Amino acid sequence: MSNPMEELPRPAKPAPRRAKAGRLIGWLALALLAALYVAALASAYPFDSDPPLSRSELEQTVAYYQKAYSSPDANPDSAAEDVYVRVAAQAARLHQIPERVQAFVSDYRLGDAKVLEIGAGRGYLQDHVADYTGLDISSTAHRFFHKPYVRGSATAMPFADSSFDAAWSIWVFEHIPNPEQALRETRRVLKNDALLYFLPAWDCPPWAAEGLPVRPASELTLSQRLVRSTIDFRTTILYWLLTKPPVRALRSVGDRLAGGPATLHYRRLQPNYDKYWMPDSDAVNSLDRDEVRRWFVSRGDECLNCATQTPFWPDQGEPLIIRIHKRP
């Protein structure tokens, strides 16, 4: 009698070539994903440090900000103001900058302190304290001020050492070609135990100079359209978590291995001084909040608002509040 099990058809074995092709495709897909991830990490890694500042760069920067504040109308809220001033005013209102600076003044009892604003612009924060000095690179911004205003560069401030009890800088350092030199100058002119409210536009995107999110698609080249198609994902929390924490961890390890005060690393950007498409179109660098925090802390300074914030979660436009501790 025949065995019925022997009459059942046996499953066909996969062809060896097909199995190898499937494995190869899988490995290629993994390699592609790994390459894309490495590229994403590289794009987020702050490779740059302070370069020599050329005369042409300085002249171009000065000319841009002189033009930005050259509106004939001295009222910063008038309809006659230029695009730069109007957009800056709208952004300040949207992000409640006056209220946040007033809270800083109130929380740390700075009403009678001698305060410097670095990059004072149109002077809309000058009345938050009685003893105020505004510093800006533009020669035309003085018309906005009824309190002391000094024209000068943040990289070479015309003040003596330890001149001020406190300072603030709002959306300025992303426009300074040598931000570390400006940080050194900031510490120099502040007294021991002075307070600093530091809020640049963190992580300025490289596509702002070209206005990719706001321009009509018909104006864009093929490569610009490809970049634009990635912006929605690159601005998600998921993308931030995939790139920022690993990069910050690598930079932290690098600083510890190097020892001593940290060197500020950032990403240089190509600014657009011809067309102000959107906020940060004129940014010359992209600063990471944790990178700046480490710069201060490695010099003995204290971050007063870092204890409740983790470097592994998005910063959400938070400032650094630093207490300067100068070593004898």
CATH number at residue 253: 3.40.50.150
At residue 314 the predicted structure's pLDDT band, cuts being 50, 70 and 90, is confident
Confidence of residue 309 (pLDDT cuts 50, 70, 90): confident
With a CB cutoff of 8 Å and minimum separation 6, the contacts of 267 are 45, 46, 47, 48, 206, 285, 286
- Measured CA to CA, the distance from residue 273 to residue 261 in angstroms comes to 34
The verdict on residue 6 lying in a domain is no
Which one is predicted more confidently, 314 or 120?
120
b vs e for 257-283, b when ≥16 Cβ sit within 10 Å of the residue's Cβ?
eeeeebebbbbbbebbbeebbbbbbbb
pLDDT at 84 over 80: no
Q: 110-128, pLDDT tens digit by residue?
A: 999 999 999 998 899 999 9
Q: Give exposure, 26-49, as e/b (b: 16+ Cβ within 10 Å).
A: eeeeeeeeeeeeeebeeebbbeee
pLDDT the model gives residue 68: 60
Model pLDDT, residue 315: 78
Q: How far is CA 215 from the centre of its chain?
A: 22
The whole-number average pLDDT for the span 90-117 is 92
- What's the chain's average pLDDT? 86
The model's pTM is 0.84
Query: Residue 80 pLDDT > 80, yes or no?
Result: no
Nearest to 251 by CA among 31, 44, 97, 83: 44
Tell me whether residue 223 is in a domain. Answer: yes
| Region of poorest pLDDT, from 10-24, 101-115, 258-272 | 10-24
Q: Mean per-residue pLDDT for 168-174?
A: 96
Percent share of the chain, pLDDT over 70: 85
Match 């938070």 to its residue by tokens. Answer: 318
Has residue 313 been placed in a domain? Answer: yes
More confident residue, 88 or 154: 154
Q: What is the pLDDT of residue 78?
A: 45
Instruction: List the Cα angle 47/53/56 in 5-degree steps.
Output: 125
pLDDT at 14: 56
Spatial separation of the C-alpha atoms in residues 177 and 53, rounded to whole Å: 7
Task: Identify which has the larger pLDDT, 113 or 21.
Answer: 113
Which residues have CB under 8 Å from 19's CB, separation 6+? none
Judge whether 212 lies within some domain.
yes
Q: Which two tokens stand for residue 45?
A: 């890694």
Range of the domain at 284: 39-323
Closest CA to 178 of 73, 51, 37: 51
- Tell whether 31 is covered by a domain: no
Is there a domain that residue 264 lies in? Answer: yes
Is 199 or 70 the better-scoring residue by pLDDT?
199
**Residue 32 Cα distances to 232, 241, 244, 246, angstroms:** 21, 20, 21, 19
Our CA dihedral for 47, 53, 56, 57, rounded to 10 degrees, sits at 50
Please, is 123 exposed, middle or buried when counting C-beta atoms within 10 Å of its C-beta (0-12, 13-18, 19+)? buried
**Window from 7-16, 20-29, 139-148, 305-314 with minimum mean pLDDT:** 7-16
| Residue 307 domain-assigned (yes or no) | yes
- What is the mean pLDDT of the segment spanning 135-151? 90
Instruction: State how many domains the chain has.
Output: 1
The pLDDT-based confidence of 261 (bands split at 50, 70, 90) is very high
Q: Quick check: is 102 in a domain?
A: yes
